[in-house]
Amino acid sequence: MDRDTALKEFEDLVEKVKYLSPEERQFMYKGTQYPSTVTSPETLQALDNFEARADDILLVSYPKCGFNWMFQILNSLAIAAGTTEKGNEILPPLLEFRKPKNLQVFSSMPSQRILGTHLHPDNLPKSFIEKKVKILTIIRNPKDAAVSYYHFQYNNPVMGFNYTWDKFFSVFMEKKVFYGSYFDYISAWNKKINDENVHIVIYEELKKNMSEEVKKIAKFFNFTLTEEQIQSICSKSTFKSMKENSMNTHGKFGTILFRKGDIGDWKNCLTEEQSKAIDLKFEKHLAGTKIGDLLKYDEYCK
């Protein structure tokens, strides 16, 4: 989607949400809450018949876990490798952020398509699995993910919510946020951790060791790049660099998408009781699993 079209859609949504009640701003589909301002039951149903291509790249993540950051990196890698045409994309084409009649826009996209979604891994269109499409998911520690999600919801006029932090935390822990439970979502990826077509990136490791992580991503997608190209992409894809350039790339939406990106920001928001509540959830759902080990919970959440 080009910059002007995306920003016009954003402004239209901001105006639309003013006239919607809190109940009208969300809907339930197959047991999960979704934002009605950007998707619909009809779109989610239509995605069941989405036609993937074998050379597609699919980026999947839980909300506010580094999705837009990773899209920037993926797009830069593909352009440098010559597998994707350079365009004026500013927002990744999320599968569910289209009206059913507009899903055909994906069919007209030239290969290699970089597609994205926040859908639960068990709810991905089946053609991506059948065609063995390579999937990249980026995962962030639950405490920072929760805090980032809260600020995104609170500051995003398209969402139209003004919950207090305590109210949001309660909703987050009760699995009532958009796209459902963080812990259910990440647990589902643990079941796919040995899938040769799935590559998992940990947000914190990407931030601390970007060059090495980007090289792993390039290798996974068979991108052939020089060391100079890798370093150039890394320097332009730091969170700091993207935030500073966000008004040029994303207009008014930039300050909403790129807030802090810090590791450990949860310490400024969670109470001791809330922190312990997440510890218990992690212990129940992810401790001792391969993906739980990758998250380095004791290092980033204690």
The question of whether 151 is a catalytic residue gets the answer: no
**H or E stretch at 290:** helix 290-294
Q: What angle do CA 152, 183, 33 make, to 5 degrees?
A: 55
Check if the beta carbon of residue 169 is closer than 8 Å to that of residue 150. Answer: yes
Q: What is the DSSP string of 134-147?
A: EEEEEE--HHHHHH
Sheet-wide strand order for 114-117: 114-117, 57-60, 134-139, 198-202
Bond before 112 cis per omega within 30 degrees: yes
What is the C-alpha radius of gyration for the chain, rounded to an integer number of angstroms?
A: 18
Check if the beta carbon of residue 118 is closer than 8 Å to that of residue 158. Answer: no
Backbone angles phi, psi at 241, to 5 degrees: -65, -45
User: Of the residues 118, 151, 250, 285, which is catalytic?
Assistant: 118
Residues in a beta bridge with 135: 58, 198
Residues catalogued as catalytic: 118
